[in-house]
Amino acid sequence: MPSVFDAWETLVTGDARAVAGVRDLVENSWRRCLKTGVDPAGREAPLVCSEDRLGLRRERAEDLRGAAAPVMGDARAFLAETGTMMVLADPDGVVLDVEGDGRTRDRGEVIRLMPGADWTETASGTNAIGTALALGAPVQIHAVEHFCAGIKQWTCSAAVIRDPVDRTALGVLDISGLSGAHNAHCLALAVTAAGRIEGRIAKRDLNLRARLIEAVLSEERWPMDRLVVFDHRGRPVRIGDRARRLLKEMALDPARTGTGGAALPDWLKIEAAEPVFDAARRIGAVCVVPQGRPHLPGGARARDLTPPPICERPADPFDEVIGDSPPMIKAKATARRLAGVEVPVLLTGPTGTGKEVFARAIHRASAMGQGAFVAVNCGALARDLLATELFGYAEGAFTGARKGGMAGKFEAAHDGTLFLDEIGEMPAELQAHLLRVLEQGAVVRVGEAHERPVRVRLIAATHRDLPAEVAAGRFRADLYFRIAVTAITLPPLAERGPDIARLACHFAASAARRHGLVRHPPADEALARLATHDWPGNVRELRNVIEQATILTLADRIEAADLPATIGAGHVLRPQPAETAVSLDEAEVQAILAAATETGWNLAATARRLGIAKSTLYEKLRRHGIRRPGG
């Protein structure tokens, strides 16, 4: 069988027949090179950038280079030991930076594997950088597989670095070395390093987007309902409710602003948008959709979509959210503004801070307030059950499926609000399905093929640090960007000092009504002790403490002596010392047994007390082998 070199020689000397013994991707690349006129006798890559032009390219790729620098630095020891070099190129295939073994870098300059050189296939023939860009996939090119004769002593591996949201190519990471030094592990390292760079870019973009939304929301001169907000790459990240309706009526797509499309009106082009700065850095831009009948391209006109005046408005639902402390005033003010804009909202904060209370207030204050409010706890259901709960299922989709199938929570929330609590617990495969539903505005039931249109206002909540989860690869970046168009962080109860007494009085009155008791507000001494507690369980812990004290007190009000000894006594639930610490499983068993004993082994009540679904409780009972005494 002819060698790879013989096959190359046959092809470049004019025999266009199929070559034997060559990988398909290499043969296809060789033929592309022949078609575009690449010189097979080439000895080096063309140097296309002067020092000044290279500086401009590096400025444009500042974000890419900033994310890549620490990753390339971390690989320095490996590169030195293996006699290889790491190369960062922009999406045009022009080298920006190199790192690695000094002697290898010197030899690389002989073939111009150096900053400013063009390593696309059309310029330098088959090579890992150019071929990876051409195929959009990781590539390893071994020695004689290179198209140009002067590069055949090198072996290189490269992976494309992609935008975390739209997956466009941001650059290429390559590991190259003379054939004796390069090894099979280099491709895996290139792919891993490119993934780490993408993770760093995603985390940085999440932070930029959060700062952008915060800056926009703090600027009162912009009408939120007519505002289109673009990120630093010209992508729309937030569209006001009236702006969305008007753009739809005008058949305009704000996502085309970055393309400079001539069909867009001047007021929607990104170059006409007002920039938003964070310190000296431009982090995005905004444009305001004009009121009335704005000028349309080609003389077209849109219907006036200004809604009729509302004569009567319902009471402010946020008045029912108890709290006048500064952080709560800020959170409620932000929520009021977001309620009138039909965009997803992400509620963040520690467990027990009242995220569902906020979600219900946002729903009632929104244009969909007359529709259903449907809540789903993504952490309380098994993966398969969560899929059918959210998306529904068709008849016969699985054993035991209901006759006629079942509508999921998306369909139940049509023209209303879907609240996805603990979204950070959602399995990865369901994250992809959820994103598709949100993007397409249609749901496909499990076991069905056709789409069902849904119009749902999404509010999600989590106690997790989602940007960190994205960076760690546990949560999809594109889904995060979709659900976190706007975000509100709810403060822990310990930071809401003035609110504790009001909440305690409210919970005491509610508990008394539920249990048919006559109770006055808690005594001042009791309120004073409550105010000094750290509240690791936040509002939920306070509610449980007050309910227990309301039931157990023999007086007509909660006295300080009725509170648990740990409240206000400087005792907070903290991890035990290592020598006496119990395992998480043991702690879980103890918590389940305590709750079950208190409820007389009423499993529904036990699940409520533990704050989990009954199905989750059954699973934990089975896993731990817990049985009712005498059962």
Q: What is the DSSP string of 392-413?
A: -B-TTSSTTPPTT-B--HHHHT
Residue 594's pLDDT is what?
77
Burial of 480 (0-12, 13-18, 19+ CB in 10 A): buried
**Range with the lowest mean pLDDT among 342-351, 577-586, 587-596, 618-627?**
577-586
Which is nearest to 154 in space by CA: 122, 119, 193? Answer: 119
pLDDT tens digits, residue range 418-427? Answer: 999 999 999 8
Give the mean pLDDT of 282-289: 83
Give CA separation, 45 vs 56, 95, 98, 127, in Å: 20, 10, 15, 11
Residue 580 predicted with pLDDT over 80: no
Confidence of residue 574 (pLDDT cuts 50, 70, 90): very low
Residue 562 per-residue DSSP state:
G
Q: What is the pLDDT of residue 579?
A: 37
Q: What value does the mean pLDDT take over residues 399-406?
A: 72
Least confident of 45-59, 424-438, 578-592, 607-621: 578-592
| CA 310 to the chain's CA centroid | 37
Q: How does pLDDT run across 157-210, given as a tens digit for each residue?
A: 999 999 988 889 999 999 999 987 667 788 999 999 999 999 999 999 888 888
Looking at the predicted structure, is the pLDDT value of residue 301 above 50?
Answer: no
Provide, rounded to the nearest whole percent, the portion of the chain with pLDDT above 90: 41
Closest-CA residue to 403 (of 412, 392, 415, 394)? 394
Note the pLDDT tens digit of each residue in 208-244: 888 888 888 767 667 788 888 888 888 888 888 888 8
Look up residue 452 and give its two tokens.
């069902």
Q: Are 235 and 258 in contact (CB under 8 A)?
A: yes
Task: Report the alpha-carbon angle 76-82-85, nearest 5.
Answer: 55
H or E element in which residue 161 lies: strand 154-162
3-state helix/strand/coil string of 520-531: CCCCHHHHHHHH
Sorted by sequence, the CB contacts under 8 Å of residue 187 that are 6+ apart come out as 138, 140, 157, 159, 175
Using one digit for the tens of pLDDT, what is the confidence trace for 103-115? 999 999 999 999 9
Report the sign of the C-alpha dihedral through residues 586, 591, 594, 596, in that order: negative
- The pLDDT value recorded for residue 239 is 85
Give residue for tokens 């533990």: 610
How much is the average pLDDT of 138-149?
Answer: 95
For the chain, give me the number of helices (H) and strands (E)? 23, 16
DSSP secondary structure, 45-93, as one string: --B---HHHHHHHHHHTHHHHHHHHHHHHHTHHHHHHHT-EEEEE-TTS
Confidence of residue 312 (pLDDT cuts 50, 70, 90): very low
Helices 497-514 and 524-531: angle between axes, nearest 10 degrees: 130
Name the residue with higher pLDDT: 12 or 148.
148
3-state secondary structure of 580: coil
Length of the chain: 631
Per-residue model confidence (pLDDT) at position 228? 87
The Cα–Cα gap between 584 and 601 comes to: 22
CA dist., res. 134 & res. 357, Å (int):
51
- 122 has a pLDDT exceeding 90: yes
C-alpha to C-alpha distance for 477 and 167, rounded to whole angstroms = 11
Domains of the chain (ranges, CATH numbers): 4-202 (3.30.450.40), 219-296 (no CATH), 318-489 (3.40.50.300), 493-562 (1.10.8.60), 584-624 (1.10.10)
Give yes or no for a contact between 124 and 114, defined as CB atoms under 8 angstroms apart. no
**Confidence class for position 602, pLDDT limits 50, 70, 90:** confident
pLDDT in tens, 458-495: 999 999 999 999 998 899 999 999 998 888 999 999 99
Q: Can you give the pLDDT at residue 578? A: 38
- Is 629 in contact with 604 (CB distance < 8 Å)? no
Q: What are the pLDDT digits (tens) for 353-362?
A: 999 999 999 9
What are the tens digits of pLDDT across the range 492-547? 999 998 899 999 999 998 888 877 788 889 999 999 999 989 899 999 999 999 98
With contact defined as beta carbons under 8 Å apart, do 347 and 459 qualify? yes
Average pLDDT score, the chain: 83
| Residue 568 Ramachandran class (φ > 0 left, ψ -120 to 50 alpha, else beta) | left
pLDDT at 571 over 50: no
What secondary structure, in 3-state letters, does 236-270 show? EEEECHHHHHHHHHCCCCHHHHHHCCCCCCHHHCH
pLDDT higher than threshold 90 for residue 553: no
pLDDT at 16: 65
Mean pLDDT across 543-557: 89
Band of pLDDT at residue 306, cut at 50, 70 and 90:
very low
End-to-end CA distance of the chain: 75
Q: How high is the pLDDT of residue 91? A: 94
At residue 339's C-alpha, the angle toward residues 335 and 344, to 5°, is 90
**Checking phi first, is residue 432 left (phi over 0); if not, alpha (psi -120 to 50) or beta?**
alpha
Residue (of 228, 246, 245, 225) closest to 237 by Cα position: 228
Pairwise CA distance, residues 245 & 525, whole Å: 55
Q: Is the dihedral of CA 621, 624, 625, 630 positive or negative?
A: negative
